[in-house]
Amino acid sequence: MEFDINSNISFIQERINDLEKITEKENPYTRLVFSKEFYDGRSWLRDQYTSLDLSISTDEVGNLIGLLKTNKKNKQLVIIGSHIDTVPSGGRYDGIAGVVSALCVINHIKKNDIDLPFNLAVYDYLGEELNDWGTSCIGSRGLAGVINEEILSRKNTAGLVLKEEIDKIGGNSKLLNKPLPVIKNILACLELHIEQGKVLEDRKIEIGVVRSIPSISRFSVTVKGQAGHSGTILMNQRSDALVTASEIISFVNKSALKLSQKSNQHFVATIGKINVHPNSAAIIPGFVEMTIDLRATSQNSKEEFLNILNKKISLLNDTSSCNVKIKDLAFAPYVEMDKDLIYLFQKSANSLGLSNTIMDSGAGHDTAQLSRVVPAGMIFIPCKDGLSHCPEEYAKVSDISKGTAVLWEMVQNLARKKIEADI
């Protein structure tokens, strides 16, 4: 059943428009996991599932699932999923494009009364974006069985415990110590996402078939100095935590630049979150906490970076009057996508006459966690100027519709493969 790219544009556009209205009004487009806006977004998604006549459930980790059951006697499952949570003042398309395109595939199936040889589910993976608990990809980590008790027991700055939030949204955090049982039925997990970079736009290519996703490591760095009066304590008597923190910030930036040039591989490090205490103009900063976000395709570069960073921290502890500590927050390994799915994605794009290329992701995704336990693959569509995680993020709905056509072609290719395998 042919998927018409043009006639599906309005279906996609309306839903992107709906979701962008569900935001913190003063910081568009913000729908932080577990916030009121997030709950509102989920209730919108439930309505979407209902209008597509899907069975609705929330799994043990709080993923919101809309299931289209096959009429055949078959328990196998293909998932198309992404996320509706956002970063603060984040994008209108990051994650959202993937969930809306999944709804669009289901709508196409329903309209044409197609029966697939497997169950097909839309997943809104819980909390893909980095949150105040210092982790990301809660839903996909939980599905893959790689979320641990230490992370689940963390409190955020408001004192809320992560596992209690998971339970409130309908999960059952006691069962998250191993991969969820559904894993054994999963045939494939597919995701459409905006590229969040400029490769496709610059090369005027319609579809990126993702080959790999870099490792992501996050560390908390704390600097303890001594707060005091900004007028009376002389410059040579201070333990200014922010001054020491600023040395670490430039050290991280410069070392990452050097290493990325030396290794000629994807290697980036960012300190994008910093809290200064007590954060008052007339007080010398006494305490700073910040987060390092590190992405690498090479384990060697990452180890080299951590080695020199730890040396720098020891040096600061010896020579400054502050005390610096570094602690692991979260880790996701470098992963490669399933080779058969890469091949099928390319075949699907080619059969639709859409230009495509194999490429590596710079960002992290739920698909990275899922690929640790099941066949998983993803495609990118272009986004304007490569901008993402900012309010300017923009993707053409016609490009999302092209990606959706590839997803549908992919589902059909998987169905053909399944039927052949069952004969």
Residues near ligand GLV (CB under 6 A): 129-130, 363-364
Q: How far apart are CA 205 and CA 198, in angstroms?
A: 10
Q: How far is the CB of 293 from ligand GLV (least distance, A)?
A: 7
39 touches 146 (CB < 8 A):
no
Q: How far is the CB of 364 from ligand GLV (least distance, A)?
A: 4
Q: Choosing among ligand GLV, Mn ion, none, which partner's interface includes residue 41 (Cβ < 5 to 8 Å by kind)? A: none
Integer CA distances (angstroms), 123 to 56, 261, 318, in order: 10, 38, 50
Which DSSP helix (H) or strand (E) runs through 278?
none
Interacting residues of 360 by C-beta distance below 8 A, sequence separation 6+? 210, 211, 212, 213, 214, 266, 297
Nearer to ligand GLV, 260 or 317 (CB): 260
Among 62, 81, 95, 403, binds Mn ion (CB under 5 A): 95
Q: How far is the CB of 363 from ligand GLV (least distance, A)?
A: 3
Nearer to Mn ion, 86 or 401 (CB): 86
Q: How far is the CB of 226 from ligand GLV (least distance, A)?
A: 34
Q: How far apart are CA 124 and CA 67, in angstroms?
A: 12
Q: Choosing among Mn ion, ligand GLV, none, which partner's interface includes residue 130 (Cβ < 5 to 8 Å by kind)? A: ligand GLV
126 touches 138 (CB < 8 A):
yes
Nearer to Mn ion, 269 or 415 (CB): 269
**Angle (CA) 115 2 187, round 5°:** 45
Q: Choosing among Mn ion, ligand GLV, none, which partner's interface includes residue 364 (Cβ < 5 to 8 Å by kind)? A: ligand GLV
Nearer to ligand GLV, 119 or 215 (CB): 215
Q: How far apart are CA 238 and CA 228, in angstroms?
A: 8
Among 37, 94, 240, 293, binds Mn ion (CB under 5 A): 94
Q: How many residues bind Mn ion (CB under 5 A)?
A: 2
Q: Give CA torsion, residues 208, 209, 212, 215, to 10 deg.
A: 50
Q: How far is the CB of 96 from ligand GLV (least distance, A)?
A: 12
Q: Choosing among Mn ion, ligand GLV, none, which partner's interface includes residue 139 (Cβ < 5 to 8 Å by kind)? A: none
353 touches 56 (CB < 8 A):
no
Q: How far apart are CA 329 and CA 318, in angstroms?
A: 25
Q: Choosing among Mn ion, ligand GLV, none, which partner's interface includes residue 37 (Cβ < 5 to 8 Å by kind)? A: none
Which residues would be at the binding site for Mn ion (CB under 5 A)? Answer: 94-95
